[in-house]
Structure 1
Amino acid sequence: MGNTNNTNEQDTEFALCTVPENERKSYFSLTIVWTGFVFVITSMMAGGGLSAGLDFKGILLAVVLGNVFLSIIAVAVSYIASKTGLTFALLTKYSFGEKGSRVASMFVPVVNIGWYTIQAATYGHFIAQAFNWSGTAELFCMAVSAVIMGIFSMKGYKAISILGYIAIPAIVFLSLATSIRAVGMVGADGIWNHVPTDSISIGSGITIVIGTWILSTATCIADIMRYAKSAKSAIAATLTGLLGGNIFMILCGTLTSIAVGDSDLTNVLLSMGLLIPCLILMTTNIFTTNASNLYSTSLNLSNAFKMDRKKIIIVILIISAGATLCRPYQISFLFTFLNLLGTIVPPLPGIILADYFIIHHGSYARLEGVKFHNFNIIPWIAWVLSLVLVFTLPFGLPSLNGLILGAVIYTVLMKITKKQVIKED
């Protein structure tokens, strides 16, 4: 017990243990952090991209259905996190095993670093465009952006929540202002009767919307909602962020892109002649999301490597700053990334949800009181088989297929093999 206590004293962000009751947060605090996470420029970019392939009615359908799907996953994961007080990385111990959890934990940060880099590059690109910089100056802006954004995640949950209190009112006001200006440019009829320059299916549109937040709703949200005082406040904060925040951001991106006739959000914002407001919007928007993104990533890697969270952040910032030099802010790159996430990630939450609600009957034994076997191969088999079937099936929505297949295959294999991940005394 002595070692555990010492670990907890040093682990101020509870990366390796349960969040104690006296550290739990209110609905308002959770909503500020989660909504600040959700208010991200890439959602606006996705909305702009959708305007190139769908009419406005199709965009509305894709946005609503995509966010309902995301909300179902997010609510379930938030419920588990609030009940257990555990990060996503620690939750995976119950299904993947002690060492298997470290491998599973690596998946989230690898993808999150990609997200972090895309957003840092987008911000640096915007700054360079605003001041007519190019070449080396643009690369410098992107690399420096990646480093500066890491400061808030270095400070932890409290710093991110303070950032959210400052940023969210600015984001809401400025997003509304640009949207109102956009409607004023082409009129309500111009928005409603929008004709896309290209054509994509509703299913593809839904998959892109799901791709914007599937990773975070399946994994990172647990790192925030583990602080909830109750499951009710966790669920309410979750729905506020997704059904309010994410739908709002995607539609703001759609409206501005339709008005200007360009799906590149940087070009759209600059062409509206609102340099200072747009600079504030981009700064508050991306900083809140990337701070939470890197915070979650550091928690997962802390579990994987048993290493100090702040040292991990320094390494990530070096990697990300270098990766921005590849200019990953192009909309085509983003859409490829979102489609990939919307397909390969859903089996993972399916496995986690099936493990908690079906295999463990809706309750995990307290982390500090159990020991785990090192490795459980079954979730990996379930994930791979799910993806094979997802890419093979000629019907259905890939994201939904993956979620259901992951849950069903994992449950069946666990029941057949009678596999136990928790060691018996």
Structure 2
Amino acid sequence: MSEALKNTVSAGSAGVEDYSITAVPGDERKSVLNIAVTCCAWIISMSTLFAGGALASGLTFGQSLLAGALGMLILAVIGFFQGWMGAKYGVSTTVLARHAFGRAGAGLFGLVLSITLGIGWFAWQIAFFGLTIEQMFPDAWFADHTVAMVWGGILMLTTAFIGYKGLAAISFIAVPLVFILSIWGIVAAVDHAGSFDALLHAQPSSGTGMTLFAGITLVVGNAALGAVVFPDITRYGKTPLKGGLGASLGYFLGGLFCVGAGAAITLAAQVPGLGSTPNIPAAMAQIGLGFFAFLILVFAQWTTNDNNLYTGALGLRNVVKLPKFVLVLAMGLAGIAIAVVGIQDQFVPFLNTLGTYVPPIAGIMVADHWIVGPYIRRSPYRFGPGTEYATINFVAILVVVLAGFIASKLSFGIGPINAVVIGFAGYVAIVYLFRLFHIPYSIGNRREDASGF
């Protein structure tokens, strides 16, 4: 590593390094509004609009809103506890996971985030963005599939490169704009339907029915991973309550609004879907949004996918001694290349499989912080130079695998929520039994140095 990079790594805090593996100092903390808007921008995405459209294919508009509200409320509750911890200690999700999983276990979690969010889903979202823009403007040079992927990917990479300040800046532009334009979309949908009452009771856009519970499951599954990694945003919160509450409120409102807009536009336009997927761009065009639909699509993708890359880079930074901005560039360019080559869909089954095992991580982190740490292990959380962590907590990793596997096999409940609950309860029970019978459940120890490693 060059001397310049060593200096950047050892600083570990200022500028584009963005306190990636050290605690955010008090004078850098942000208001509850700042946290809320940044998390709101995270959930305002094309996938959430499409989730709303998918609800409208089997539910009325009123039922779609109810499913959206209940689903986002579940995620807000889970995210609150994660967000509280991030703001309390000022560290990222993977650094926070060091106590629960051990230093190597948290590194494994970081690798999973870098592969799933930082490269895989980042690439998929770029390819999806290119297709969407191409559909909106089929004859424009900037809407050529490849061209749109490149400039869209660069936009998303830029704010992730800057760090939290970049995410917050684009969020304060995007959130009000997308809210205004989505309201416009809902108003246009009401006008297209004839009245709000007609829209509220409009029949599903397809003949296939959907239960309310299935709709809630769809909403939760769409955005569960974001709630797990709330600490990546809330580490900038002024207090634990402000961090957790701001993130949860922003995520809930943004998700509900986006789901409602997607459902309203889809029900009003009644355009054929793309297979089983609602054609949101065509629906926007049908109700007359025109260029404003383009703005919604650009900002909705931008403010979500830069967070994917940002979180992936923070996860990988917990593993390798390279500055975060180097990781953002490398992972972002890799994602763009994968999308341009057109092989992103080949990763989706693998990414979905990995994603199954991320929700129980939140259950274990919450259990370790509130129950196992203070009452069973009797060791309070602390971070910074001199802090000792286990090298690896093999019980935590075993419970993640078991919880993810069991949740994937259950035919009832909501998959991600099942995984969180099983992870929480299973981890507490097994650690308690191991401690009761004096059986070690972690091995080795690692002391944090001045650089955060």
TM over 0.5: yes
Give the whole-Å Cα distance in 2 for the aligned partners of 1:48 and 1:337.
25
Give 1:182's match in structure 2, choosing from 142, 164, 189. 189
What is the rounded CA distance, in whole Å, between the counterparts of 1:223 and 1:151 in structure 2? 18
SS where residue 54 of structure 1 aligns?
coil
Rate the CA distance shift 1:170–1:57 in 2: closer, same or farther, 3 A.
closer
- Any gaps of 5 or more consecutive residues in structure 2? 1-6, 272-277, 436-440, 448-453
Partner of 1:360: 373
In 1, Cα distance between equivalents of 2:214 and 2:18: 38
1: distance between equivalents of 2:443 and 2:67? 39
- Deviation readout 1:215-251 (Å, 9 max, x if unpaired): 11111x1011011111221133123212211100111
The answer to whether residue 33 in structure 2 is matched with residue 28 in structure 1 is: yes
Residues 342 and 399, structure 1, Cα contact 8 Å, conserved in 2: no
Which of 280, 288, 292 matches 1:277? Answer: 292
Identity of aligned residues (%): 25
Farther-moved stretch of structure 1 (4-13 vs 400-409): 4-13
The code of the aligned residue for 2:225 comes to L
For 1:139 and 1:195, locate their aligned partners in 2 and report how far apart those are by CA, in whole Å. 37
Give deviations 1:73-132, integer Å, cap 9, x for gaps. Answer: 110001111111110010111111111211111222222133323332333223222331
Q: Say if 2:142 is the partner of 1:108.
A: no
- Alignment map for 1:113-262 (pairs within 5 Å): 113-133=119-139, 137-186=144-193, 187-196=195-204, 197=206, 198-219=208-229, 221-262=230-271
Q: By how many angstroms is 1:211 displaced? A: 1.8
Shift of 1:325: 4.1
Cα pair distance change 1:57/1:179, threshold 3 Å: closer
CA contact (8 A) 1:302 1:308 kept: yes
Corresponding position: 1:288 with 2:292 = no
Question: Could you tell me which of 81, 85, 94 is aligned with 1:80?
Answer: 85
Which of 332, 345, 349 is the aligned partner of 1:317? 332
- Residues of 2 paired with 1:227 and 1:422: CA distance? 31
The alignment covers a number of residue pairs equal to: 419
Deviates more, 1:59-68 or 1:357-366: 357-366
Q: Select between 44-53 and 395-404 the one with higher mean Cα deviation.
A: 395-404
Contact map agreement 1:53 1:200 (CA 8 A) in 2: yes
Q: Which amino acid letter does the alignment assign opposite residue 404 of structure 1?
A: V
Could you tell me which runs of 5 or more consecutive residues in structure 1 were left unpaired when the two chains were aligned.
none
Q: Go from structure 1 to structure 2 and tell me whether the alpha carbon gap of 1:279 and 1:57 turns closer, same or farther (over 3 Å shift).
A: closer
**2:450 alignment counterpart:** none
Q: Which region of structure 1 is more displaced relative to structure 2, 157-166 or 94-103?
A: 157-166
Deviation digits for residues 312-333 of structure 1, max 9, x if unmatched?
Answer: 1122222211332476999xx9
Would you say the 8 A contact 2:317–2:327 is kept in 1? yes
Match of 1:62 among 56, 59, 67: 67
- The answer to whether the 8 A contact 1:372-1:421 is kept is no
SS class of match (2:12): helix
2:358 maps to 1:345: yes
Change in 2 beyond 3 A, CA 1:210/1:326: farther
When structure 1 is superposed on structure 2, of 306-315 and 415-424 the one drifting more is 415-424
Report the Cα offset of residue 39 of structure 1. 1.9
Residue-by-residue CA offset, 1:150-171 (whole Å, 9 max, x unaligned) = 0111111122222122222211
Q: State the Cα distance separating 1:43 from its structure 2 match.
A: 0.7
Residues 392 and 444, structure 2, Cα contact 8 Å, conserved in 1: no
Deviations 1:386-409 (A, max 9, x none): 133223444333233211110111
1:144: how far off? 3.3
Name the CA distance, whole Å, in 2 between partners of 1:57 and 1:214. 23
Residue 52, structure 1, aligned to residue 75, structure 2: no
- Counterpart pick for 1:387 among 390, 394, 404: 404
| Conserved? CA contact 1:89–1:300, under 8 Å | yes
SS of residue in 2 equivalent to 1:19: coil
User: CA separation in 2, counterparts of 1:326 and 1:201?
Assistant: 39
In structure 2, relative to structure 1, the CA distance for the partners of 1:165 and 1:420 (3 Å cut) is: same
